[in-house]
Amino acid sequence: MTMTTSTIAAAQDPNVQLVIEVLPALLVILIVSALCGKVAVAWGQPRVVGEMIAGIALGPTLFGRIFPDAQQSLFTPSVKPVLYVLSTIGLTLFMFLVGLGLDHEKAPRGYQRTAMTLAVSSIVPALLLGCGVGLLFHQELSRGDVSPGMFALFVGGALAVTAFPMLARMLYDQGLERSPLGVLALLAAAVDDAVAWCFLAFIVAFHSNGGLSESVRVVVLSAAFAVLMLTLGRRLLRKLGEKARSRGDLTTGQFHLVLMVVLAAGWFTEEIGVYAVFGGFVVGLAMPREKAFQQAVRQRLLDTVQVLLVPVFFAFSGLNTEMGGITDAGTLLPLAALLTAAVAGKFSGSLAAMRANGFSWREGAAMGALMNARGLMILIFVNVGLAEGIINQKTFSLLVLVALITSASAMPLCKLALGRRPMSLLTTPHEPTDPPTVSNEYTNKGG
């Protein structure tokens, strides 16, 4: 009798009921993500491509179309906010890991200059072409309360993104991480990521309803936060790196401190009007570069973030992605324009930069293909845009499809450009004596 009473009381507790609703949703997300990830790997794609497909499949496009009742009962209105919170925490930690892994200081000076040129050359054409597409299809795709200029800037920024973690994974899979192609691609993608998040912070700030003064306040506070973290914050955090180097690991208390700094930064940037991932990314850049420190943080954090929290983000994105009307005449033309701008912008700029720095046409074309790997980064970008009311669900769905197509085609197109002799790139005269490295422990997770 007592057990029955307790069970009934538990069932009436809204918190217990929420747990009962959320756990099955998480289980389904993990199962589908794992299966799709294995299929992607079997097809020669990074695991993250399969996880992106899993997220779309769990939304209204597939699961909701075939089993609408089951989909609605699994992802109820009370479950979606929980998924949003988990995905936001996951993305903040993920972007922290991305910032932590950008070891640009180890690169030879010549490569840093070339990578900077490559990054700018790949960003600007994609940004301009994307802005053009945004202006052209503003009436068809944009929300009514968003100006043509704001919409165009957002679309251009989304198409200018390159995914550093996915690119690192692809290069390690092909044994190209130490080649001139791999070194430059990783360095350029790192610059690309940093520019993308600064640009996104700028757009979100100027889209706020507080007027020009409020927008300037947000931009100034964001810049001040970044400068403070990368100067004073870096000096204060340096002690963590020294302690990790001396004992070869982090204590539990030190790891707690790392998490508190990351989450506090995410909370602060969210409070001032910039998405939490910006705070996580900046803190990652400010963290010590000692190998022992980085490995200790990744060992404790990476699996949880990429196995649980990132798939939750993909699923949440999939719930907002509707591909049902993708074959309509009014949708195919904007999609074709977005894909053309995305691919042509990155490809042409990268090819021109590589040729200008003495690389071959094949190497330039391969770089253009690699820089089109947008992966998780563009999904974060468009999720922020949807949450901030800059884009609607139709534009969101189209940009998710652009992310999937460009990410899945990046390595096949790279192989096609290189032909039958990709290993020859490892012995070209461009190769430096001490190229920068990216942790296998990080890239082997398929980010």
Per-domain residue ranges of the chain: 83-443
DSSP, residue by residue, 95-160: HHHHHHT--GGGS-HHHHHHHHHHHHHHHHHHHHHHHHHHHHTHHHHS-TTS-HHHHHHHHHHHHT
Task: Say what the pLDDT of residue 24 is.
Answer: 94
Task: Say if CB 158 and CB 118 are below 8 A apart.
Answer: no
pLDDT tens for 327-364 read 676 788 999 999 999 999 999 999 999 888 888 888 88
**Arithmetic mean of pLDDT over the chain:** 81
State the architecture of 83-443 in CATH terms: Up-down Bundle (1.20)
User: Residue 446 has what pLDDT?
Assistant: 42
The answer for residues whose C-beta is within 8 angstroms of residue 417's C-beta and 6 or more apart is 362, 365, 366, 368, 369
Name the 3-class secondary structure at 431. Answer: coil
306: Cβ contacts below 8 Å, ≥ 6 apart: 94, 445, 446, 447
Q: Which two tokens stand for residue 231?
A: 């100067």
Please tell me the predicted confidence (pLDDT) of residue 212: 61
Tens-place pLDDT, residues 318-337: 888 777 666 676 788 999 99
- pLDDT above 80 (res 426): no
Taking the model in full, what pTM does it have?
0.76
What's residue 407's pLDDT? Answer: 87
Angstrom distance (rounded) from CA 270 to CA 289: 26
Task: Give the per-residue pLDDT at 433.
Answer: 36
- When computed from its CA atoms, the radius of gyration of the chain, rounded to whole angstroms, is 22
Q: How would you class 230 by CB atoms within 10 Å of its CB: exposed for 0-12, middle for 13-18, buried for 19 or more?
A: middle
Give 181: exposed, middle or buried? Use CB within 10 Å, 0-12, 13-18, 19+: buried
pLDDT bin (cut points 50, 70, 90) of residue 440 is very low
Model pLDDT for residues 201-228, shown as the tens digit of each residue: 778 777 765 556 666 777 788 888 989 9
pLDDT at position 74, please?
92
Which of 283, 281, 143 lies closest to 207, judged by CA?
Answer: 143
CA distance 293 to 250: 7
